[in-house]
Structure 1
Amino acid sequence: MEKNVGGFDRVWRLVGGALLVVIGAAALVGAVAIGPVLAGVMVVLGAVFFVTGVLQRCVINRLLGLDTYRGDRTETTHTDEASMERPS
């Protein structure tokens, strides 16, 4: 799968994902009172966001046709050698 996460989308996933994991983990140890189910969901979602930001690949973006990655993509073009040798 090609990279499809970049720019602000990637930064949001890295920062937001890390924050969700930290807050969810704090709730699981009792430092924040939000409930264990919500804390577990926050940890899992945060980890998914963070990993998709690091890998720059997201299945949901691919299914929706979204692409925020603007990196160096080299497109391979196949040129027929015989057509290059023909005079114009």
Structure 2
Amino acid sequence: MMIAFEFAFTAPFQKLRALPSYLEILIVPMALRFIRIAETLSAETRSIDLKRRKSNYLSLRFAAWDVVFCVLLAASIAAGLIL
């Protein structure tokens, strides 16, 4: 279902206030799609024989881009709560 935000709101302030909801509408289905793709790839790659010991753990580090996105996420949530 497609929602036309240009016609639903009359003031730019209303569009800005609805921005967190709009971002949620875009991000949640995308995240679910990514999870489904990751599960499929995981199932397909289990059968590949590796020369080293198999492990399910991956070392991840928090990078500068992660900080930027966390700040943007917090700002969009705060904007949704304040407006």
TM-score with structure 1 setting the length: 0.33
TM-score with structure 2 setting the length: 0.35
Higher relative contact order (CA 8 A, sep 6+): 2
